[in-house]
Amino acid sequence: MPQLTRLVTGTSSGFGEALVSALGARGDRVHLKQENVEILHIDLDSSQAEIDEAVSKAQAAFGGIEVLVNNAGYLLGGPKWAEVYRTNVVGTVNVTRAIMPHFTEKKVGTVVFMGSYVGVVSDLGATPYNATKFALEGVLDGFHKEAAIFGVKTIIIEPGWSRTKFFDPATNIKVAITPVGAYAPVNEQMGQIIQAINGNQPGDPKKTVERITDVVKSEGLATGTELPKRLPLGADALAKVRKKCEETLKICDEWESVITSTTFDT
């Protein structure tokens, strides 16, 4: 596949940082300093007009963008739901809205959403973060159908836990101060989980971004494949998503008579 020009959000750490390195190594141009990489500053908390202007400048400066990777996001615990939604969901949607006129005009382009398996199966604690990933799943389902009309491809990646700095309090975790009260055991258990998994995550971030690149470009292990609408990555993600699918099918089978009992009598 020819060289692609990509706009990647959230590249200071984690998958975004690893993805920029992988794409640059493969010769793709990435707006974002390394070889084949340009820096573009976009604050996802900016207004739609400001984001539109930044994306348009990138289009003009680099002769077009073929792929948008919506990767920006962070973990927030506590009551500040609006804050985490503003970046993880609204900011992601606004960047996508900014790029779409350029994609629809050419009737080509790919939009990648970085979701998580916790957007399919929510884990204990971090409910605001998990809910934003569920929201992106919903955005993808509707947007996938709309974008296809214009020849634009879409995918949401659902990684499992990968050994990045995601759980580093200095980078991605924002702890909201909230009265603990009866929730002390929940907070304590959440802290134990983070402490246990941080640095021991099973996923290799370099392999993860290589697979993402393979899938988007139909190269490597994904040679000859069509872009799927969603893709779990990692053995832990596969196990969680598969179990959720099996549980949902079980409910549909066991409760079918009740579920279908609301139809008008004929």
Residue 246 maps to a domain: yes
Q: What is the CATH number of the domain that holds 178?
A: 3.40.50.720
Summarised one tens digit per residue, pLDDT across range 170-183 is: 555 555 555 566 76
Question: Mean of the pLDDT values across residues 32-47?
Answer: 60
Per-residue confidence at 121, pLDDT binned at 50, 70, 90? very high
**In percent, how much of the chain has pLDDT > 90?**
45
Please state the rounded mean pLDDT for residues 92-104.
95
Looking at residue 227, the DSSP 8-state letter turns out to be P
**Amino acid 129: pLDDT:** 86
- Using the structure block, give the residue that is written with the tokens 């962070």: 74
Query: Whole-angstrom Cα distance, residue 27 to residue 157?
Result: 22
185 vs 187: CA distance, rounded Å: 6
When divided into structural domains, the chain yields a total of: 1
Inside any domain, residue 213: yes
Whether 266 maps to a domain, the answer reads: no
Query: Alpha carbon of 198 to those of 68, 126, 164: distances in Å?
Result: 29, 15, 8
Distance CA 128, CA 137 (A): 15
| Residue 102, domain member (yes or no) | yes
The range of the structural domain enclosing residue 22 comes to 5-261
Q: What is the pLDDT of residues 247-264, one digit of tens each?
A: 999 999 999 999 999 999
